[in-house]
Amino acid sequence: MLRPFAAAERPGSARGASELTAAPVVDVVVPVYNEERALEPGIRRLHDYLSNDFPFSWRITIVDNASTDGTRSQADRLARELPRVRTSHLDRKGRGFALRCAWGASDADVVAYMDVDLSTGLGALLPLVAPLVSGHSDVAIGSRLAPGSHVARHPKREIISRTYNLILRAVLATRVRDAQCGFKAVRGGVAQRLLPAIEDDGWFFDTELLVLAERNGLRIHEVPVDWVDDTDSRVHVVSTAIGDLKGTARMAIRFARGRGRVDLGPFARAPLSDDFGRRAVSFSLIGAASTAVSLVVFLLTRAPIGPIGANVAAVTATFVANAWAHARYTERRSRPRWVRSLALYAGAIASTSAALALVDAVTTSLTAQVAVLVATWSLAAVARFVVIGGSR
């Protein structure tokens, strides 16, 4: 299990003794597994940056995940040679397990982590932690998919990463652009509250941390990064991707069962007392887009299946996307309220079909049919806002 941290200073130094006992503002955790080639240059480069260009007090924590090469002895040597570096050694693998142990034991105001290969440019570290130190945000992540980022990586990794993040946004309705980037930070008190709720100890740990933080109303700050892929990475892309997909399914089931709430205590953010304006505008934009798509479907299918059938097809075509968009943008939820949504869907079909039948008894004019559809779809949208979007 977790071995006590090794000394981070040379003995006999008054300065070293004070730095060992004083809690730093930022604790940068570097989890490693069989990284004896990358460990020393990576840690020395990080140490130089923190010593010369970082304004907050800091500490580097190297966490060895049961390495079988010379990583452990090298980490211990670096802890003896470099000020404010300490190490711990675990008896099993798992990046999430390493972060759980190191963050859980840290006394820093902000806990962070990065990969030992320093794929992320260190210039992003200060923008990453500054919003957490100030209290403006609770979690900060580096993003390779945010505007302003500069990324050099293999096409296969890029495709897998983008696909995975699209799946996350669709299934869990997260706003996070890049859940997997190995460059994150959390306010120390927030981490202590979130860690017990995170079940995964592997690569999905990052994603689970983010979706739990987002679902519980915490503020997540994204930083565009410069990223260059490590050609000697220990990550097995396929197995990691499969594990991430399983984790995504598990989280979706967890949220569907009404679980996932975390007692954040004093770190909880109070919801806005009134955000009606934002919700009303978002609702209107979603309604306009949904109406436009439904109208196109109606016009394309009216001739072959008739106006009533075309109306059913049009409403059905936008139902799932409509429910998901409203959950994400107007209800501030991670999943739609499907029972209410299904009831409103059935009501919309019944009311619009009845209106079409009445119009059809008088005239077969396409203009009249379109007019009554737009009117009844709009009334159905208002009903949805009152029943779902207008209440939280």
Catalytic residue among 206, 232, 244, 275: 206
* Catalytic site includes residue 115: no
Structure tokens at 345: 């869907």
pLDDT of residue 337: 62
Measured between alpha carbons, how far is 279 from 266 in angstroms, rounded to an integer? Answer: 27
Structure tokens at 361: 């008894």
31 sits in which H/E element: strand 26-32
Domains, the chain, ranges and CATH?
14-267 (3.90.550.10), 276-389 (no CATH)
pLDDT of residue 232: 59
The answer to whether the CB of 120 falls within 8 A of the CB of 227 is yes
List the chain residues with pLDDT less than 70: 1-21, 230-237, 272-276, 324-338, 387-392
pLDDT of residue 2: 44
Per-residue pLDDT tens for 218-239? 999 999 999 887 665 555 667 7
Residue 59: which of 27, 82, 30 has the closest Cα?
27
Q: How many helices (H) and strands (E) does the chain have?
A: 12, 9
pLDDT of residue 258: 81
Measured between alpha carbons, how far is 106 from 102 in angstroms, rounded to an integer? Answer: 6
pLDDT of residue 4: 43
Report the Cα–Cα distance between both ends of the chain, in Å, rounded.
Answer: 44
Per-residue pLDDT tens for 131-153? 999 999 999 999 988 888 888 88
Measured between alpha carbons, how far is 120 from 143 in angstroms, rounded to an integer? Answer: 10
